[in-house]
């Protein structure tokens, strides 16, 4: 791809709207998820209604376990999505597919936000802060960044011309 003088340059407004607004939107959604509205008791009641409709004979202990795993999976997944959005924003319109600085910057933003999220939860009425949740959140982000890295490396290998060995 020729990125010479004739290549169009995107405005900062365009880049902010296209790449950073989704990041900020995800931050707002995550901040809302971090409130009392999404406390364990509230999500358990929703999960209990769903499970009792499909499996009416489940016990209270099983419902608590399912609630726990659904919540932890949601933490991991939302931070994986967040990391992918941050990486995408850092990459923006670059012709490059991957840079170590984008990976490190994205991970630092994800890990920093996970710590701030737990700090926020320490001030809510029904939530609590846990360094283990922050580690789970960060691992979700790291997982997404490693998948992005693997896909970029695969794409790079496919682009290289095949060498004939004699």
Rounded-to-integer distance, Cα 100 and Cα 152, Å: 12
pLDDT given for residue 162 in this prediction: 66
Nearest Cα neighbor of 75 from 13, 138, 146, 145 is 138
Rounded-to-integer distance, Cα 127 and Cα 150, Å: 36
Rounded-to-integer distance, Cα 133 and Cα 121, Å: 11
Rounded-to-integer distance, Cα 33 and Cα 55, Å: 27
**How much is the pTM?**
0.83
pLDDT given for residue 135 in this prediction: 97
pLDDT given for residue 166 in this prediction: 58
User: 3-state SS string over 23-75?
Assistant: HHHHHHHHHHHCCHHHCHHHHHHHHHHHHHHHCCCCCHHHHHHHHHHHHHHHH
Rounded-to-integer distance, Cα 2 and Cα 70, Å: 47
Tokens of 113: 């936000």
Element (H, E) at 137: helix 131-159
Those residues whose C-beta lies under 8 Å from the C-beta of residue 136, and which sit 6 or more positions away, are 72, 75, 76
Sketch the domain layout of the chain as residue ranges.
24-155
pLDDT per residue as tens, the chain (166 positions) = 445 555 566 788 888 899 999 999 999 999 999 888 877 777 777 888 888 888 888 877 888 888 889 889 999 999 999 999 999 999 998 999 999 999 999 999 999 999 999 999 999 888 889 999 999 999 999 999 999 999 999 999 998 876 666 5
The answer to whether residues 93 and 85 touch, using CB atoms and an 8 Å cutoff, is no
Nearest Cα neighbor of 81 from 141, 15, 34, 5 is 141
């Amino acid at each position: 791809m020729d990125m010479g003088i004739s290549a169009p340059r995107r405005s900062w407004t365009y880049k902010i709207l296209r790449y950073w607004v989704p990041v900020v939107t995800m931050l707002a959604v995550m901040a809302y998820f971090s409130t009392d509205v999404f406390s364990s008791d509230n999500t358990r009641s929703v999960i209990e209604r769903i499970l009792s409709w499909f499996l009416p004979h489940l016990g209270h202990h099983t419902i608590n376990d399912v609630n726990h795993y659904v919540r932890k999976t949601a933490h991991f997944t939302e931070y994986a999505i967040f990391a992918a959005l941050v990486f995408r924003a850092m990459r923006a319109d670059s012709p490059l597919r991957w840079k170590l600085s984008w990976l490190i910057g994205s991970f630092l933003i994800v890990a920093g936000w996970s710590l701030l999220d737990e700090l926020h939860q320490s001030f809510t009425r029904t939530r609590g802060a846990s360094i283990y949740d922050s580690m789970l959140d960060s691992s979700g982000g790291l997982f997404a960044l490693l998948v992005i890295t693997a896909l970029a490396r695969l794409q790079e290998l496919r682009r290289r011309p095949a060498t004939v060995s004699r």
